[in-house]
Chain A
Amino acid sequence: MTSATPFDAAAYVDAAAAALGLPLAPAHRPGVIANMERIAGLALLVMELPLDEATEPAPVFEP
């Protein structure tokens, strides 16, 4: 995601909700989109920090 291709939160929310079978009431949809926009902004901070391939996700499963 770069500034050249801005994240379209409304389109994403509609598509992802449909794919998950999560109905969004018309009264809730604007709030969900606003939250997704905020989360996308935070995701930019997370995604732009380079991490090497050896950095595994924090949770460790113990069989």
Chain B
Amino acid sequence: MGTDTDILGAAAGALKIANAVRSGRVGALEVTEAALARVAALDRSFNAYTEVTAERARSEARAVDAARAAGKDPGALAGVPYAVKNLFDIRDVTTLAGSKINRGRAPAETDAFLVRRMHEAGAVLTGALNMDEYAYGFTTENTHYGPTRNPHDVARIAGGSSGGSAAAVAGGLVPLTLGSDTNGSIRVPSSLCGIFGLKPTYGRLSRHGGYPFVASLDHVGPFARSVEDLAQCYDVLQAPDAADPACAMRPVEPIAGALGAGADRLRIAVAGDYFERRAAPEALAAVAAVAKALGVTRRVIIPEAARARAAAFIISAAEGGNLHLPDLKSRPQDFEPLSRDRLLAGALIPATWVLQAQRLRAWYRDRIRELFSEVDVILAPATPRSATLIGQETMTLDGETMPVRPNLGMFTQPISFIGLPVLAVPVSLGGALPIGVQIIAAPWRELDCLRVGKALELAGIAAAPVAKQAALA
């Protein structure tokens, strides 16, 4: 019975569950009930979920069990409970995107593209997850729905904007979640919650049926507690989709079977200069631990990273402000107070700043392409420090005091700006609070990121145990 208990427990991984369900050792419904019970018991502490879709979950689980009983393939993620950031459309559920304003909208008529992919693979949707309003934030201190709390220390933020997605996985509620990343919204919460998160190449995964923020920079991707689970989920999500204008119509490139190739033949370097300044000791120690484990001594300079970040900031504010201009005109009081004034200012940005930022983006992309002729993978901190306290306004880094909320993304923003694939890996430093490192690869080379992640897992450097508070509950 030990095995069954493991499979029904908070620490069970997605592949372990899928294998058990596919072989008939456990029913999908049994796994689903266990996950729903964990959500009911623990999420009062985390506030990761804004909606629990229990009936849908049971119905999807029964369909998986019926398919298996009928001798059909129940799917690569058969019976795996998961949840999605509440900007993904879920049939019959109103897509909030973290806002009060969208609460007045009709429920979605169909699932988002990625939710359909998960359904077809036999995964079981347990609900929708909290986020910063309209994905404009790095902390998930959502004024309308309350802050999501970090399962490693519930007095602290989970990071954002996909805070619910990271907390649900770190807290052992479900082994897989989906989120989005425009400037760091997968990598920042992954780092602060101590889990793996993948922001694939811009255009790799379809965003169709996801509420947009910055069309130029929006990405979607998965969270998990192991590289294998993340890779399997990513493989399930891959499919060209003409309904997302940014989705590259590339053939699917599955990677889950190739993780064992190791990192030995990859040319890896640590990002210097910008990525070494204004970082807390734990952020630099995490990068150093990863570099040491991989035998990396090389350093590269990503040119003009500060300007890249500035340009990403301007494009984000301008596109976000434009998207929400009708509501900003008619009901500004209904917006999240923490980001409303930034959206209002964004709506007023002169066109020439935005256009220059987009030209700088093309220039910067060309410089980084040159860099990838010399190296395959670049290491950088994911966040400048570990999780801050909920409500904390400022932090001091390298003697400079700055606001927390816009600056948690200082190391992620220059990377997503040109759509590079990044794996956030949680690094075990022995401290109380987790922190992550960005494993950055050339465009379309997600596999390189995950090969390095797998090697770090095998070396015992990267690990994402369920948060102790949750594991004890």
Contacts and interface: CB of A to CB of B under 8 A. Distances in A.
| Category for how many chain A residues contact B | 20 to 34
Interface in A1-55: 12-13, 16-17, 20-25, 28, 31-36, 39, 42-43, 45-47, 49, 51, 55
Given A35-B344, A39-B314, A49-B307, A22 B325 contact: yes
B349 interface: yes
Nearest to A53: B359
A35 B109 CA distance: 37
Contact of A22 (B317, B344, B356): B344
Interface stretch (B265-273, B294-302, B360-368): B360-368
Could you say which of A39, A51, A55 has the most chain B C-beta atoms within 10 Å of its C-beta?
A39
A17 B350 CA distance: 12
Q: A-side binding surface: helix, strand, loop or mixed?
A: helix
B345 A13 contact: yes
B340 interface: yes
Given A25-B332, A31-B341, A55-B362, A39 B317 contact: yes
Given A31-B341, A35-B344, A42-B310, A58 B365 contact: yes
Contact of A34 (B333, B341, B350, B358): B341
Given A20-B347, A42-B314, A46-B307, A28 B357 contact: no
A60 B365 CA distance: 14
| Category for how many chain B residues contact A | 35 or more
Contacts of A47: 352-353, 356
Contacts of A35: 317, 341-342, 344-346
A58 B359 contact: yes
A58 B341 contact: no
Contacts of B328: 22
A57 B359 contact: yes
Contacts of B307: 45-46, 49
A59 B349 CA distance: 18
A58 B360 CA distance: 8
Contacts of A32: 341, 344-345, 348
Contacts of B455: none
Contact of B362 (A13, A25, A31, A57): A57
A57 B355 contact: yes
28 contacts: A12-B348, A13-B348, A16-B348, A20-B348, A22-B328, A23-B332, A25-B332, A28-B344, A31-B340, A32-B345, A32-B348, A33-B345, A35-B342, A39-B314, A39-B346, A39-B349, A42-B314, A43-B310, A43-B356, A45-B311, A46-B310, A46-B311, A46-B353, A49-B363, A56-B362, A57-B358, A58-B358, A59-B358
Interface of A: 12-13, 16-17, 20-25, 28, 31-36, 39, 42-43, 45-47, 49, 51, 55-59
